[in-house]
Amino acid sequence: MTTIAIVYHSGYGHTEVIAKAVARGVESIEGIRLLFLKADEAQKQLDALTGCDAIIFGCPTYMGSAAASMKAFMEASSKVWMNQGWKDKIAAGFTNSGSQSGDKLNTLIQLMIFAMQHGMIWAGLGLMPGNNNSKGSVHDINRIGSFAGAMSQSNVDEGPEKSPIESDQQTAELLGRRVAEITRRWVKNS
Ligand SMILES: Cc1cc2nc3c(=O)[nH]c(=O)nc-3n(C[C@H](O)[C@H](O)[C@H](O)COP(=O)(O)O)c2cc1C
């Protein structure tokens, strides 16, 4: 069976909403087993991750870069890196932040470089940008206009039950679905 892991960190629950949306997308494709892991737990489950066909990484943007718990996971994975245990697995990423930009592209780039160091194959979002014309709105899919992965934004004065908004969750769901479809094809032809 094709197995896809989501490894994520969320300090205050907003990014977890997005991680769950990515999970819904993954599970919308038949025949996929999902491993849903917080970055702290994932550090102790590196072997389980080695058994997966794809890993999707996600975390909030803190101080313009990946949250520290995700960095700790990344550094712990150097044990796997030694033997290139995740080589040729599909990888993708998502990040949430308080500002529309908030420098969160830097977080996706960090996740992407991390995947590259592991010899993984990075899948971008694969969606056209939304909210970039006179008829657009924040309710568009990919309203932040990201290509490297799924970006979302949550208001700093609202809890995860309100923010990030539905369009960000739908965008994340589409990332999960895309990774599942790509991984299924990759596994079938390998
Ligand atoms: C320590 C810290 C640093 C942050 N740095 C940024 C930042 O650089 N850019 C930004 O837009 N938001 C920043 N934020 C806001 C968070 O990205 C935002 O609140 C996000 O929703 C938190 O996700 P979480 O609830 O999953 O932890 C920061 C928040 C914290 C706690």
pLDDT digits (tens, 9 = 90+) for 58-67: 999 999 999 9
**Domain housing 133:** 2-188
Number of domains in the chain: 1
Residue range 98-121: mean pLDDT, rounded: 98
Does any ligand 1 atom lie closer than 6 A to the CB of residue 107?
no
Q: Is 95 in the pocket of ligand 1 (CB under 6 A)?
A: no
Answer yes or no: is pLDDT of 190 > 90.
no
Specify whether the CB–CB gap between 59 and 67 falls below 8 A: yes
Which atom of ligand 1 is nearest the CA belonging to 15? 26
pLDDT of residue 67: 98
CA proximity to 5, closest of 31, 32, 30, 40:
32
**pLDDT tens readout for residues 75-101:** 999 999 999 999 999 999 999 999 999
Report which protein residue has its CA nearest ligand 1's atom 1.
62
pLDDT band, very low/low/confident/very high, at 189 (cuts 50, 70, 90):
confident
Distance from Cα 160 to the centre of ligand 1, integer Å? 13
pLDDT at 128: 98
Instruction: Dump pLDDT digits (tens) for 140-164.
Output: 999 999 999 999 999 999 999 999 9
Residue where the block lists tokens 């539905």: 166
- DSSP codes of every residue in 126-144: -----S-STT--TTSTTTT
How much is the pLDDT for 1? 87
| CATH code of the domain in which 119 resides | 3.40.50.360
Percent of the chain with pLDDT over 70: 100
Which amino acid type is present at position 2? T
CA dist 114 to 83, 102, 153, 160, Å?
15, 21, 23, 27
User: 126 and 180 in contact (C-beta within 8 Å)?
Assistant: no
CA 32 to ligand 1 center in whole angstroms? 31
